[in-house]
Amino acid sequence: MLKINNLKVSVDGKEILKGVDLSINEGEVVALMGPNGSGKSSLASAIIGNPKYEVESGKILFKDENLLTMTPDERANKGIYMAFQYPVAISGVTVREMLLTALRAKNKEIVVSALDLKNAVEKEAEKLHINRELLSRGLNEGFSGGEKKKMEILQMRVLKPRLLILDEIDSGLDIDALATIAKNVAEMVKEMKMGVLVITHYQRVLSYLAPDKVAVMKDGLIVEQGGSEVVDRLEESGYQSFE
């Protein structure tokens, strides 16, 4: 579904990704691990089309379509969704208003009913143990770290992407919240064969969301790919073992 080939990306003229190869299939959970500054989040930014990340060469194909010529919204409407590590606040805009606009931008032919959406949002909020009061506040405005992360997952549940990128989802989350989020993600993998790229520094999240494949990134390159045994190796000897 997602195929990344020899991807080189720079920020402000500095090369961050130095030829990354990675693929994710439908219904597959891929963990991307690596120390801070290895380029994990840069890869995520390049996939969603953050203009600060300049693609120097290489390819990103999504269902055989070239993502690199698409704007972030076009990519989103193809089914790519990222749960941000630090979601930005949008004052005065509720999650419902945002999702309604997003859904209407995506499906121009189908009329999305505001009432249906309201019900869907409330249902998901309940499943994620999100306080209803947050639904009528400005998006992410004054939310705690955990509330923001849950709200990212709520949006994902409503938008139903084909590929989900979780960028350091476990940072600032307690165990219960992490378990809830993992459960809601796993459901989507099972029910609609959503692919997931789990970007993480720590192993913790992977005990809740079992990866089919694990890739390790260092200095802008994938230095190791394998099954869950890679996680075990990291557990024992840390990132030094991938020198």
Partner 1 sequence: MRYAKKEIIPEVSIDESYKLSGRDDIAYAYKGERGLDEKVIRDISAMKKEPEWMLKKRLEAYKVYLSKPVPTWGGDMSPIHFEDIYYYLKPAVTEKKSWDDVPASVKETFEKIGVPQAEREMLAGVKGQYDSEVVYGSLKKTLAKKGVLFLSMDEALKQYPEIVKKYFGTIVPVGDNKLAALNTAVWSGGSFVYVPAGVDVGLPLQAYFRINSESAGQFERTLIIAEEGANVHYIEGCSAPSFSSASLHAAVVEVIVKKNAKVAYTTVQNWYKNIYNLVTKRAWVEEKGGMRWIDGNLGSALTMKYPSCILAGEGATASMLSIAWAGKDQHQDTGAKMIHLAPNTTSQIISKSISKNGGRATYRGMVQINKGAVGARSKVVCDALILDDKSRSDTYPVNKISEEDVILEHEAVVSRVSEEQLLYLMSRGLPEHEAEAMVVNGFLEPVMKEVPMEYAVEMNRLVELEMEGSVG
Residues that bind partner 1 (CB under 8 A): 48-52, 71-73, 75-77, 81-82, 84, 87-88, 90-93, 97-99, 101-103, 105-106, 138, 155, 159
Q: Give φ, ψ of 119 to 5 degrees.
A: -60, -45
* Number of other CB atoms surrounding residue 103 within 10 Å: 18
CB of 231 to partner 1, least distance (A): 28
CB of 51 to partner 1, least distance (A): 8
CB of 185 to partner 1, least distance (A): 17
User: What are the start-end ranges of the E strands in the chain?
Assistant: 2-11, 14-24, 29-33, 54-62, 65-66, 80-83, 163-167, 195-200, 213-218, 221-226
**Between 47 and 205, CB nearer to partner 1:** 47
**Between 90 and 221, CB nearer to partner 1:** 90
**Between 89 and 221, CB nearer to partner 1:** 89
Half-sphere exposure of residue 114: CA atoms within 13 angstroms, side-chain side? 6
**Between 63 and 204, CB nearer to partner 1:** 63
CB of 37 to partner 1, least distance (A): 20
Strand 54-62 vs strand 2-11: parallel, antiparallel, or unpaired? antiparallel
